[in-house]
Amino acid sequence: MPIKLFDSLTREIRELRRPDPTNPKDVFSFYNCGPTVYAPAHIGNFRTFVVNDVLRRLLELEYGKDKVRYVRNLTDVDDKTIKRSRDEGRPLADVTKQWTQKFHDDCAKLNCLPVSEKFEPTATGYIRQQVDMIDVLMKKGNAYRAPDGSVYFKVSSFPDYGTLSRVKERELKTGSGFAADADEKEDLSDFALWKAHKADDGDNAWDSPWGRGRPGWHIECSAMSKALLGDTIDLHTGGVDLLFPHHENEIAQSECCNGTKFSRHWYHSEHLLVDGKKMSKSLGNLYTLDDLTAKGFSPMALRYALLMGHPRKQLNFMLDSLHAAESALDNMRNVIERICDKANIPVTELYTTERIFNAPKDQLSWNALRALREDLNTPDALGEFFHSSKLADPSGLSLEWRIQNLAGFCYVMGFNFSSVVKQNIEAPATITALAEKRWAAKKAKDFAGADAFRKELTAAGWSMLDGKDGYKLEPIKK
């Protein structure tokens, strides 16, 4: 069964290209826009990175680790990083090193696979490649130098501009994304490739044929992708907020420079909402991983919660989502331990490289894995896991087949059960009695009474999680 994924460019679900297994040089090239390292990433950022981690794992399971080349960049020079450096009176490199390490630490806690240093390029490490691309665009007539020394891409020189975002179908308004760096531009839609040095930039400037300055945000990804993956890549991903103008601009400058298609496939994950609203500091609903672990939640619970919704649909995150995720992880661990006990192997042996990657691919046919191959449907995959756990052992399927598929599923989803703590806290008799009253009210469709009892439980420090045939009580984590 091939891996199919929604393509943001064609607006349809399409098969991903499978690399030629007989050609050692043929790899699946995958570029994921990484973080800007000036502050801790929030859980909305990590939804995108966790989704891409699952996608990377799925590709590695299907094609083999040596057949997937995954690149994720670090933006270490832009307005935000320079401002943080200036405000703190520290060199830019010190600031970005601090927040790069924090990003890596958080990724490790969330069990995201590490990226080798070679394939995690920085914008400051690829200045020459960016200058070279801009020089080509200048010579081809796709870019021009403004009076202040900045260089802009001429959007009118690329007839296909707007194909990805359908921007031509919308009215262009100041503030839509085009207005940035508007002072010296010939046209509102043009965007900066090279920014002339200004006093606020401090020492953060490099030499170029157009004078001292620094690269624009968009050109860095085109240059790093070209250098590490070639002129045409198989897959480019990121959050939906990057679709326009960032990815639209990448296509324009890359295809004009290289004279060929930039990416065969585009995939974007949707926004994460918190309590039904967009995250913001002013609303007090912007969470980092540290914020949630300080409340007593595990990183694995956050990973699970971020995968509970389809990546292409907005996901509404609530703290109750983490309670539900921890309960589900406990149940999942129990299922896995039961199957491993039956197979007479320890749970840790489930995660061996040999078991995960040496299983015949045509045997990895469990419905949970099928759901992941079909547009990365993580909620369906989770549902299939629990659905199958309630069924009797499928006739005609060996225990080894179940173990192989379970190993593949756990690898792709990235669940590390060695870090999952079981919840074995018993509720006091008074809390149990209150829960029974609420359950009885709910079954009697006395919803006002059920809500009142739930509030009493919450005030007493307990959460009641309803199931189809019963409920579960858990202490509320602060």
| Strongest mean pLDDT among 266-280, 341-355, 388-402 | 266-280
**Strand, helix or coil for residue 467:** coil
| Of 250, 242, 147, nearest in space to 191 by CA | 250
Residues 6+ apart with CB under 8 A from 102: 40
Across-strand partners of 238? Answer: 268
Segments making up each domain of the chain, as ranges: 4-269, 291-419, 429-475
Among the ranges given (84-88, 251-255, 261-265, 467-471), the one the predictor scored with the smallest mean pLDDT: 467-471
pLDDT per residue over 436-463, tens digit each? 899 888 888 898 888 888 888 888 888 8
- Residue-averaged pLDDT of the chain: 89
| pLDDT band per the 50, 70, 90 thresholds, residue 244 | very high
Is residue 250 within 8 A of residue 130, CB to CB? The reply is no
pLDDT (0 to 100) of residue 391: 57
CA distance 216 to 242: 15
Here the tokens at position 444 are 């009697």
pLDDT per residue over 115-171, tens digit each? 999 999 999 999 999 999 999 999 999 999 999 999 999 999 999 999 999 986 544
- When pLDDT is averaged across residues 410-420 and rounded to a whole number, the result is 78
- When pLDDT is averaged across residues 242-261 and rounded to a whole number, the result is 97
Here the tokens at position 260 are 């060929």
* 468: pLDDT strictly greater than 80: no
| Strongest mean pLDDT among 378-382, 395-399, 422-426 | 378-382
pLDDT per residue over 74-93, tens digit each? 999 999 999 999 999 999 99
Classify each residue of 259-280 as buried b or exposed e, where b means 16 or more C-beta atoms within 10 Å of its C-beta.
eeebbbbbbbbbebbbeeeebe
Is residue 29 within 8 A of residue 235, CB to CB? The reply is yes
Is residue 96 within 8 A of residue 103, CB to CB? The reply is no
| pLDDT band per the 50, 70, 90 thresholds, residue 477 | low
Helix (H) or strand (E) holding 192: strand 191-196
Share of the chain above pLDDT 70, in %: 91
- When pLDDT is averaged across residues 56-60 and rounded to a whole number, the result is 97
* 10: pLDDT strictly greater than 50: yes
CATH number for the 4-269 domain, one of 3.40.50.620, 2.60.40.10, 2.60.120.200, 3.30.413.10? 3.40.50.620
* 227: pLDDT strictly greater than 60: yes
- When pLDDT is averaged across residues 393-403 and rounded to a whole number, the result is 68
**Strand, helix or coil for residue 121:** coil
pLDDT (0 to 100) of residue 214: 97
pLDDT (0 to 100) of residue 183: 59
* 327: pLDDT strictly greater than 70: yes
pLDDT per residue over 180-219, tens digit each? 455 578 899 999 999 999 999 999 999 999 999 999 999 9
pLDDT (0 to 100) of residue 422: 43
Residues 6+ apart with CB under 8 A from 257: 133, 136, 137, 140, 142, 222, 226
Domain 291-419 classification at class level: mainly alpha
pLDDT (0 to 100) of residue 425: 52
Distance in Å from the first CA to the final CA of the chain: 45
